């Protein structure tokens, strides 16, 4: 990863809708060079895609929570089944598979506290493999939009 690729990644992370011409101008390189660099970053798996960021509150999902889950028995089959189940839940934004006390950390976005309560009681605790669940409401969420190589 050289300085030019790092700068290109930074620009794309700031605004993935920039045109190739705009990127090339900002970097001071030829459009063909820029296009080839982006193509190479995609082929190497550094750039995974381009996504639109949405305002969860504007979608009627203003309450976020983190739900720590432990399943039993912690076999590969149980872990994979539960992971598939929660990944399909419309309320779930992210699924983290963990080591340690908890097996999963679920990031959810819901309408309100009643909706969150329903997700926990009516969807999660109905699962026979669920051994423990702990829910924490999120007051604020900061996310880096630009991640530089180390």
Residue of higher predicted confidence among 50 and 42: 42
Q: What is the pLDDT of residues 78-128, one digit of tens each?
A: 999 999 999 999 999 999 999 999 999 999 999 999 999 999 999 999 999
CA distance 45 to 50: 13
Q: Same domain, yes or no, for 66 and 117?
A: yes
Do 62 and 131 lie in one domain? The reply is yes
CATH code (residue 83): 3.30.70.920
In the β-sheet with 104-110, what is the strand arrangement from edge to edge?
92-97, 104-110, 63-71, 130-138
**CA–CA separation, 122 vs 89, rounded Å?**
12
Categorize the per-residue pLDDT at 1 as very low, low, confident or very high, splitting at 50, 70 and 90.
confident
Closest residue by Cα to residue 23 from 36, 48, 97: 36
pTM, two decimal places = 0.86
- 3-state class (DSSP) for residue 20: helix
Supply the range of the domain harboring residue 107: 57-138
Domain match, 80 and 126 both: yes
Position 150 pLDDT exceeds 90: no
Structural contact between residues 78 and 71, judged by C-beta atoms closer than 8 angstroms: yes
Q: Are strands 63-71 and 92-97 parallel, antiparallel or unpaired?
A: unpaired
For residue 8, what pLDDT is reported?
97
Residue 81 lies in a domain: yes
Residues 115 and 78 in one domain: yes
Asked whether residue 50 is assigned to any structural domain, the reply reads no
Euclidean distance between CA atoms 40 and 46, whole angstroms: 9
72-91 residue pLDDT tens: 999 999 999 999 999 999 99
**Cα end-to-end span (Å), the chain:** 10
CATH number for the domain harbouring residue 30: 1.10.10.10
Picking from 100, 101, 66, 56, the residue whose alpha carbon sits closest to that of residue 86 is 66
The chain-wide mean pLDDT, for the chain, equals: 96
Q: Looking at the structure, do residues 65 and 125 belong to the same domain, yes or no?
A: yes
The candidate with the shortest Cα–Cα distance to 111, out of 68, 69, 67, 60, is: 60
Number of domains in the chain: 2
Tell me: pLDDT of 149 over 90: no
3-state DSSP assignment of residue 67: strand
64, 130: one domain: yes
């Amino acid at each position: 990863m050289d300085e030019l690729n790092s700068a290109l990644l930074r620009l794309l992370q700031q605004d993935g809708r920039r045109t190739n011409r705009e990127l090339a101008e900002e970097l001071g390189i030829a459009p063909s060079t820029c296009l080839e660099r982006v193509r190479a970053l995609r082929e190497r798996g550094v750039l995974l895609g381009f996504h639109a960021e949405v305002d969860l509150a504007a979608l009627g999902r203003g309450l976020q929570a983190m739900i720590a889950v432990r399943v039993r028995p912690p076999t590969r089959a149980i872990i994979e089944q539960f992971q598939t189940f929660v990944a399909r839940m419309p309320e779930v934004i992210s699924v983290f598979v963990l080591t340690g006390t908890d097996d999963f950390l679920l990031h959810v976005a819901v309408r309100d506290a009643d909706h969150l309560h329903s997700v926990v009681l009516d969807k999660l605790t109905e699962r026979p493999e669920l051994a423990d669940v702990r829910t924490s409401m999120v007051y604020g969420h900061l996310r880096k939009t630009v991640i530089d190589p180390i």
